Amino acid sequence: MVQATDPPDLRSAHVIVVGNEKGGTGKSTLSIHIAIALLKAGYHVASIDLDTRQRTLTRFLENRQSWGANARRAIELPFHHALERGGKDSASENEIVEFTSFAEAIARVEHAYEFVVIDTPASDSYLMRLAHSLADTLVTPMNDSFIDVDVLARVHNDRRERGATAQYAALVLEARRQRRLADAGLIDWVVVRNRMASLASHNQRQVAGSLGRLSPELQFRMAEGFGDRVIFRELFPVGLTVLDSIEEVTDRGALSASQMTARSEVEALIGNLRLPCRTAELPHMQARHLWFEKTQAFYQELISKGSAEPV
């Protein structure tokens, strides 16, 4: 249960973990856009790639660096740490190597940056669970499909009936428990619908209804993500995002309507994440404490609307 507690001893870095045990839902795409959007807003941002196999975030940032060098442009880049694969014979030895590398990465950034964005792999591992327990904001992208809902709660024939808590939601609930024990912190869990079709369908409404019913029980909130747009795919090789001056690299020389909508979708998502935002009057650490108070109040309200037995 998210309880009223004294504010925890907050680190400077607000940790944003992008996770979902289901593969291909848009974790890396969201990690990329969140990190670049925060850099463009002037924050000190670090990023960590926990996906030692695919290294999508790392590959994107390498492409971005090359683009900047070739174009002789100063382009925003986070301080990045890519976790290396253990490379040992036994799984337990690999776990120790990877844990040590992750712990070092966190120690290097937690007091030096305002935001840390962590992209995670789709597989369940000790490290992935540990990363979830460090999240202040956990972003879970999902496609509009009951297959994706099924990792949160089992979907039955009668889709209005609540199924048993499924593996990924159980993982998040345990991460929350660990986090409370560790530093009395809380995790703002935001389920983001990604690759939304432009035309609302019956399926889309049903999935939205299902998530709406689960939200107070599992204590997550929902946010609209990105539409299914080619522009979110095609900029990867040049290391750019829709927030960059892509007019220069696209053939048309000007943004299309869809590209402009894509840009607004990224901006809207950043707003909907309700991250701690410093201003001239509000320094970063005060914004972090205010975020904690507001987030705690939000979940207390959500619990009062939801299950009698809070998680």
> Among residues 46, 80, 50, which one has the least CA distance to residue 63?
80
Q: Are 113 and 12 in contact (CB under 8 A)?
A: yes
C-beta closer to ligand ATP: residue 15 or 142: 142
In DSSP terms, 104 is beta-bridged to none
Least Cβ distance, residue 119 to ligand ATP (angstroms): 7
Residue 178 interacts with, from Mg ion, ligand ATP, none (CB under 5-8 Å by kind)? none
Which of 79, 146, 82, 150 is closest to 116 using CA atoms?
79
Q: Which is nearer to ligand ATP, 49 or 217 (CB)?
A: 49
- Environment class of 62 (CB within 10 Å of its CB; exposed 0-12, middle 13-18, buried 19+): middle
* Single residue of 20, 25, 52, 56 touching Mg ion by CB under 5 A: 56
Which of residues 214 and 262 has its CB atom nearest to ligand ATP in the complex? Answer: 262
Q: How far apart are CA 165 and CA 152, in angstroms?
A: 6
Q: Would you say 49 or 76 has its CB closer to ligand ATP?
A: 49
Identify which of residues 11 and 229 has a Cβ nearer to ligand ATP in the complex. Answer: 229
Give the integer Cα–Cα distance in Å for 179 and 219: 15
Closest CA to 270 of 228, 223, 234: 223
Shortest distance (Å) from residue 225 CB to ligand ATP: 7
- Using CB distances below 5 to 8 A depending on partner kind, what does residue 23 bind out of ligand ATP, Mg ion, none? ligand ATP
* Residue 249, token pair as written in the block: 């690299």
Residue 29 makes contact with Mg ion by CB under 5 A: no
Binding site for ligand ATP (CB under 6 A): 23-29, 51, 54, 56, 121-122, 194-195, 226, 228-229, 232-233
Q: Is 30 or 106 the residue whose CB approaches ligand ATP more closely?
A: 30
* Number of chain residues interacting with Mg ion (CB under 5 A): 3
DSSP, residue by residue, 204-262:
HHHHHHHHHHHHHHHT-EEEE--B--THHHHTGGGT--TTS-GGGTSTTSS--HHHHHH
Nearer to ligand ATP, 258 or 300 (CB): 258
Of residues 14, 27, 33, 55, which one binds Mg ion by CB under 5 A? 27
Contact flags string 118-157 toward Mg ion, x per CB under 5 A = ----------------------------------------
Alpha carbon distance 1, 271 (integer Å): 26
Q: Does 28 bind Mg ion (CB under 5 A)?
A: yes
- DSSP class of residue 25 equals S
d(CA 169, CA 250): 40
- Distance in Å, CB of 25 to ligand ATP, minimum: 4
Residues that bind Mg ion (CB under 5 A): 27-28, 56
